[in-house]
Amino acid sequence: MLQQGILNPDLLHLLARIRHTNTLVIADWAFPFWPEIETVDLSLCRGIPLITDVVDLLKDNFKAGRIWQAEEFLATNPQSTLELYRTSLDGFQSLYPAVEVNYLPHIDLKKMVPHAIGLVRTGDPTSYGNLILESA
């Protein structure tokens, strides 16, 4: 029986199928449903878990090559939220220094979603906090 790390069997199953250059979406509670891709819904209530909680758990086993986020995230959130994300994403960057966050318009980020292996829905209420991670 697993006793640490990611315990959710649906999330583990999804992560085990991601290969080189595949993408994974980590989304907030209000992100649209995409019927063409597998969705693992981890939301318990508003704020649990946060996108950064999921990122923090992924860092030990997910080798990120690139990360995308909506540029609107930077303009609509307080400095404390920007710092929370920066700290969380720095974990990928300390393990894999070439990883950087690429910002693009939210509408363009959504156009990338159907090409992802899967989507992880959280309870996060952060405006434009959604991330797309590409495996290295």
Q: 110 exposed, middle or buried (CB, 10 Å; 0-12, 13-18, 19+)?
A: middle
Amino acid symbol at 123: G
C-alpha–C-alpha distance, residues 70 and 4, integer Å: 32
Q: Is 20 an annotated catalytic residue? A: yes
Could you say which of 13, 20, 106, 115 is catalytic? 20
Give the sheet arrangement for strand 23-27, strand by strand: 38-41, 118-121, 23-27, 131-135, 64-70, 101-104
Instruction: Determine the Cα angle at 131 with ends 125 and 136, to 5°.
Output: 155
3-state SS assignment for residue 53 = helix
Catalogue the active-site residues: 20
